[in-house]
């Protein structure tokens, strides 16, 4: 499963770079808008499979761990989550102003791609995914209502927390009360890491 997921991500990254190189950034933004509809049915598959930021962040996180520069700390000022909304508004306004005043498309996706890598060099991927990403903020709204989602079969779960350790968005957590894992649908980016790690096969994609 891991290799299939990686191949899909690399394919989307190649399509993204091709579109950017050919000045077709708006096409990718159109794909993103379409993905919000898909999210209502299938969960945040755009984030987990197509998003170029998520793909480069996976490598950046690996590098950060190798260099031992990753911290568990989350900047206090980010914790409320309001900044993701602010970054969304600033990005849209900057794009509109760039188009109107400079008659050019601001390379907003490339800018956020670089920001996501810089942030992930130092912080856990969840910091960018959950507290900064202006695209993720819309995906979270749609993801909250998704029809299909990852769920944990409580009878199979033994509370080992292996799934927690590999979740890039801290969407899955073992509850103190019953020692069973629960997935936050809004935060889950459908990456399948938890399914691959679970020794009991307790995590399923279902209604
Ligand atoms: S590890 Fe599991 S819970 Fe976390 S984002 Fe990936 S699929 Fe969702
Ligand atoms: S890895 Fe599987 S068994 Fe372990 S806590 Fe997570 S869902 Fe439960």
Contact 194 CB / ligand 1 (< 6 Å): yes
**Which of ligand 1's atoms lies nearest the C-alpha of 203?**
2
Range of the domain at 176: 149-206
- What pLDDT was estimated at residue 2? 85
Degrees, nearest 5: CA angle 178-142-207: 50
Q: What is the domain count for the chain?
A: 2
pLDDT digits (tens, 9 = 90+) for 144-183: 999 999 999 999 999 999 999 999 999 999 999 999 999 9
pLDDT at 207 over 90: no
Final residue in a domain of this structure, among 143, 162, 191: 143
Find out whether 36 and 47 touch, Cβ atoms under 8 Å: no
Based on the fold, state whether residues 12 and 106 are members of the same structural domain: yes
Q: Are residues 10 and 34 in the same domain?
A: yes
**pTM of the model as a whole:** 0.93
pLDDT band at 1 (very low <50, low <70, confident <90, very high): confident
Do 98 and 157 sit in the same domain of this protein?
Answer: no
* 44 and 137 inside one domain: yes
Report whether residue 107 contacts ligand 2, using a CB cutoff of 6 Å.
Answer: no
Per-residue pLDDT tens over the stretch 28-83: 999 999 999 999 999 999 999 999 999 999 999 999 999 999 999 999 999 999 99
Asked if 153 and 86 sit in the same domain, the reply is no
Final residue in a domain of this structure, among 143, 161, 190: 143
Question: What are the pLDDT digits (tens) for 109-135?
Answer: 999 999 999 999 999 999 999 999 999
In 3-state terms, what secondary structure has residue 203?
Answer: strand
Conformational region of residue 170, where left means phi above 0, alpha means psi within -120 to 50, and beta covers everything else:
left
Residue 162 in 3-state DSSP? helix
Burial class (CB in 10 A: 0-12, 13-18, 19+), 35: buried
Same domain, 33 and 19: yes
Radius of gyration, alpha carbons of the chain? 17
52 shares a domain with 38: yes
Q: Are residues 20 and 119 in the same domain?
A: yes
Nearest CA to ligand 1 atom 6: 191
Domain co-membership, 111 together with 182: no
- 19 and 118, same domain (yes or no): yes
Residues 170-201 as b/e (b if ≥16 CB within 10 A, e otherwise) read ebbebeeeeebbebbbbbbbbbbbbbebbeee
Closest CA to 122 of 77, 60, 170, 164: 60
Is there an atom of ligand 1 within 6 Å of 191 CB?
yes
Give yes or no: residues 134 and 167 share one domain. no
Q: Is residue 120 lining ligand 1, measured as CB closer than 6 Å?
A: no
């Amino acid at each position: 499963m891991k290799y299939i997921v990686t191949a899909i991500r690399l394919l989307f990254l190649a399509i993204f770079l091709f579109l950017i190189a050919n000045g077709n950034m708006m096409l990718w933004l159109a794909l993103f808008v379409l993905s919000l509809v898909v999210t209502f049915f299938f969960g945040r598959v755009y984030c987990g499979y197509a998003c170029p930021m998520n793909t480069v962040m996976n490598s950046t996180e690996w590098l950060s761990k190798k260099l031992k520069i990753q911290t568990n700390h989350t900047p206090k000022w980010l914790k409320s989550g309001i900044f993701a909304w602010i970054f969304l508004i600033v990005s849209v306004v900057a794009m509109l102003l760039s188009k109107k005043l400079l008659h050019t498309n601001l390379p907003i996706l490339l800018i956020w791609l670089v920001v996501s890598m810089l942030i992930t060099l130092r912080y856990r991927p969840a910091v960018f995914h959950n507290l900064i990403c202006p695209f993720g903020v819309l995906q979270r709204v749609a993801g909250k209502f998704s029809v299909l989602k990852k769920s944990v079969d409580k009878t199979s779960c033994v509370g080992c927390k292996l799934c927690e350790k590999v979740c890039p968005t801290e969407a899955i957590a073992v509850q103190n009360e019953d020692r069973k894992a629960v997935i936050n649908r809004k935060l889950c980016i459908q990456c399948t890491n938890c399914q691959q790690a679970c020794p009991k096969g307790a995590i399923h994609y279902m209604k």
